[in-house]
């Protein structure tokens, strides 16, 4: 397979760019620079930036003009036309030192959101599922939970703990997406200098995971083999997302810790793109009563 070259999709330098979301109806890419409370969007040549009150770290789409935002305060809907927020629920109201981190819609209409301690204290984080208006805990005792993604065909959910450099796999109910049993280690990076960050599953069930301090996105098959790697040309890619017709891979990145590091083609913190990467699966919507 031919090597693909990353190009700059948007040259805004994000301190920590995260949560890329391609809205398949509006054909718009959304992402956040969460430490700066910024929501970015770009459709064609039109770019918009909205400053948010809360520190939003993950996104999903609900309908044409409604997004689901996961923040340090909980889950909100957000109208992209009026910028109106509607609070849905808190996630860890009893843990004021925790914040949201990764999140992704599942193919059954739910939304999974991870939490972590603001200082990344060990085993203080967890992953929750929002489904039919109810939040339930999926797994606990994580440090930097990331890489939430789903393989509907195989009824699998995946997540990573970046602090221990491992990716885990969890069976889910094929009809409802509810987790079943205990997670097992799917892939282990702990003998390397890289940490798995955000991830997404393509139409064949392969995982594409961004590697913090790895300057690449690895493609891992369902049987846990690295079958391809895409060089990002910046050390800290954070999360991939499929967009356009599903063959485009967008990747957010972080400038954090690289402010004085020279770069070549890809500025640290830019949002980059790989064209004709693979046939990906576009994001499903989150189902919320009343929307």
Task: Report the distance separating Cα 211 and Cα 38, nearest Å.
Answer: 23
Helix (H) or strand (E) holding 141: strand 134-142
Give the pair of three-digit tokens for residue 20: 């890329």
Query: Is residue 119 annotated as a catalytic residue, yes or no?
Result: no
Rounded CA-CA distance 106/83 in Å is 25
Strand order in the sheet with 125-131: 98-105, 111-117, 125-131, 134-142
Grouping H, G, I as helix, E, B as strand and the rest as coil, residue 127 is strand
| Contact (Cβ atoms closer than 8 angstroms) between residue 187 and residue 224 | yes
Asked if residues 54 and 33 have their Cβ atoms less than 8 Å apart, the reply is no
* Distance in angstroms (rounded) separating the CA atoms of residues 251 and 256: 16
Q: How far apart are CA 245 and CA 113, in angstroms?
A: 26
Cβ(31)–Cβ(12) below 8 Å: no
Question: Please, what is the Cα angle at 132 between 127 and 133, to 5 degrees?
Answer: 75
Q: Is 156 helix (H, G, I), strand (E, B) or coil?
A: strand
CA pair distance 58, 228, nearest whole angstrom: 26
Q: Distance from first CA to last CA of the chain, Å, rounded? A: 42
Q: Which of 106, 197, 202, 218 is catalytic?
A: 197
Residue with tokens 């796999």: 169
Catalytic residues: 197
């Amino acid at each position: 397979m031919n090597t693909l070259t990353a190009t700059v999709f948007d040259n805004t330098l994000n301190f920590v760019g995260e949560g890329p979301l391609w809205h398949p109806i509006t054909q718009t890419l959304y992402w956040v620079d969460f430490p700066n409370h910024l929501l970015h969007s770009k459709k064609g040549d039109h770019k918009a930036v909205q400053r948010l009150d809360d520190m939003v770290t993950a996104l999903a789409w609900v309908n044409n003009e409604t997004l689901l935002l996961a923040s340090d305060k909980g889950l909100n809907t957000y109208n992209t036309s009026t910028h109106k927020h509607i609070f849905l629920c808190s996630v860890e109201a009893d843990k004021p030192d925790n914040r949201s981190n990764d999140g992704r819609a599942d193919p059954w209409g739910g939304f999974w959101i991870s939490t972590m301690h603001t200082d990344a204290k060990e085993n203080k984080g967890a992953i929750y599922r929002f489904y039919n208006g109810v939040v339930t805990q999926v797994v606990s005792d994580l440090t930097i939970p990331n890489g939430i993604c789903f393989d509907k065909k195989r009824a699998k959910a995946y997540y990573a703990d970046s602090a221990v450099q491992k990716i885990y796999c969890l069976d889910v109910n094929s009809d409802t997406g509810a987790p079943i049993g205990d997670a097992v280690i799917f892939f282990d990076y702990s003998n390397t200098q890289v940490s798995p960050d955000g991830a997404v599953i393509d139409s064949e069930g392969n995982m594409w995971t961004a590697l913090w301090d790895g300057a690449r996105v690895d493609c891992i098959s369902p049987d846990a083999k690295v079958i391809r790697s895409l060089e990002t040309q910046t050390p800290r890619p954070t999360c991939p997302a499929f967009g356009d017709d599903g063959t485009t891979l967008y990747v957010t990145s972080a400038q954090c810790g690289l402010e004085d590091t020279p770069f070549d083609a890809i500025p640290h913190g830019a949002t980059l793109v790989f064209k004709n990467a693979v046939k990906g699966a576009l994001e499903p919507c989150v189902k919320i009563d009343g929307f």
